[in-house]
Structure 1
Amino acid sequence: MTTVNTFVDKISNEQTALLPAVEFRGEIRIVEHERDIAPACKYLMQQPLVGFDTETRPSFRPGVTYRVSLLQLATPERCYLFRLNRIPLAKPILQLLESRQVLKIGADVAGDLRSLRQIRHFRDGGFVDLQTIAPAWGIEEKSLRKLSAIVLGKRVSKAQRLSNWEATTLTDKQQLYAATDAWVCTRIYDRLQHTPKIKRASARTPKTSEKQA
């Protein structure tokens, strides 16, 4: 653990934009056939900790929404992109999402889980939301982009966020974006765990002064 906590509480968009980009450098595997679900989940179930995120096809028309298109689960070495518009939210995936032995680290976890439950109900377990724990280190920002900027000093690109996640083939840029979003959550979590939390002053009851006789 480092000896000091130098994290700022907030960072501007302008400051964030000046930072170097961070990118996932491991292997990216696309899961779009049912036969590939079980082997991917077997590997992930053996990991103590994975990064977690989802992507949904954007809608540019009022009243039109889409179900979640992609589930990303990443380790430092490998990221699996589960194309949920093509494969079911099958039992091996649900077992992973419900496992308390495998920590799943994300940002706005509740929102992602709501999207997944629109496909199939499950009881989540072992999730850690960076938005929820960051205030313990004095960080007030909520977005993944700004959490990365403050904790890692690196910028997460959002250039592919509004791209078509139900496209016939995901582009290399889409794959890298999706993998980075999941993987960087584990980097942020690891850095937080090696940095002291903010010590908060405990509330003390003021002593009543004794009256002079």
Structure 2
Amino acid sequence: MQEHKATPDKEAIALLPEFERLGLDRISLVCTGSEAHQAHGQLIAAKAWGFDTESKPTFRVGEQSDGPHILQLATAERAWVFQLHEPECRAVAADLLARSGIAKAGFGLGDDRKRIVHKLGIEPQGILELNTIFRERGYRKDMGVKGAVAVLFNQRFIKSKKAATSNWANARLSEAQLVYAANDAYAAIRVWHALGL
């Protein structure tokens, strides 16, 4: 019988020291074909990436999102934020996600996967839902990035609600959006390494 491990609550997490996030000097915005090919060359050297997507939020009932609008991939050193409105960026992003042999680790990826299939026309390979790993290790409820960072690093992962619900379809992303998006993927790869996967 496996013992159930507790996930720290919001109050406990709020008391922890801050998780050190990537700054803009370690985040590459990818919005042209040449930037996408350069990112591709750097990314395929890794055996795993932190992975996430962002879509412009929908606020009206029945409104369908045409996201994802950006794709975030990260190694333990840096992150790349691909804007998917540019056809060549989209093609490179599709190639990266369709590659087998490279784990793409993240949290709550079911919706991301469906949207990627719809938008990029590929079935992403090597998707690793980190919540599943935590469940296998005895944690009962969905961990999410905040819980995982608290459990593994004893630190608090900060997520801006304002950035989360901002317009990810904008041609020009703000610095706050870049930092938010990149660090979701960066925290996921750090968690992947810490889990010894």
Normalising by the smaller structure, the TM-score range is 0.7 to 0.9
Cα distance, 1:140–1:152 mapped onto 2, change above 3 Å: farther
Residue 41 (structure 1) shift: 1.2
CA radius of gyration, larger in: 1
Q: Secondary structure at the match of 1:186?
A: helix
Give the Å deviation of 1:92. 3.0
Q: Deviations over 1:102-145 (max 9, x none)?
A: 22111122221111112122132222110111122222232222
Identity %: 28
| 3-state secondary structure, aligned to 1:169 | coil
The letter for the 1-side match of 2:22 is F
Preserved CA contact (<8 Å) 2:32 2:88: no
CA RMSD, Structure 1 to Structure 2 (Å): 2.1
* 2:42 maps to 1:54: no
Measured at CA, do residues 89 and 120 of structure 1 come closer, stay the same or move farther in structure 2, by a change above 3 Å? farther
Distance of 1:135 and 1:44 partners within structure 2: 29
1:19 counterpart (12, 16, 21): 16
Which consecutive segments of 4 or more residues in structure 1 shift more than 4 A? Answer: none
The TM-score with structure 1 as length reference comes to: 0.79
Deviation, 1:184, is 0.6
Q: Which residue of 1 aligns with 2:68?
A: 68
Cα distance in 1, alignment partners of residues 170 and 14 from structure 2: 28
Counterpart-to-counterpart distance in 1, 2:16 and 2:177: 21
Structure 1, residues 68-105: CA drift from partner, whole Å, max 9, x if none? 11100011222110011344564432222122222211
Cα distance change on mapping 1:36 and 1:86 into 2, 3 Å? same
Stretch of structure 1 that moved more, 172-181 or 185-194: 185-194
CA distance, structure 2, for counterparts of residue 86 and residue 19 of structure 1: 40
Q: Could you tell which deviates more after superposition, 83-92 or 96-105?
A: 83-92
- Runs of at least 5 residues in structure 2 that lack an aligned partner in the other structure: none
Q: How many pairs align? A: 188
Distance 2:165 2:13 in 1: 20
Q: Distance in 2 between matches of 1:119 and 1:166?
A: 14
**Structure 1 residue ranges without an equivalent (≥5):** 1-6, 195-213
1:177 corresponds to which letter in structure 2? Y
Whether the 8 Å contact between 2:90 and 2:120 is mirrored in structure 1 is: no
The AA in structure 2 aligned to 1:185 is A
Q: Residues of 1 paired with 2:105 and 2:194: CA distance?
A: 13
The separation in 1 between residues aligned to 2:174 and 2:28, in whole angstroms, is: 13
SS of the aligned residue for 1:118 comes to helix
Separation in structure 1 between the aligned mates of residue 127 and residue 63 of structure 2, nearest angstrom = 29
Map of 1:3 onto structure 2: none
Equivalent in the alignment of 1:120: 120
The answer (yes or no) to whether the contact 1:32–1:87 under 8 Å persists in 2 is: no
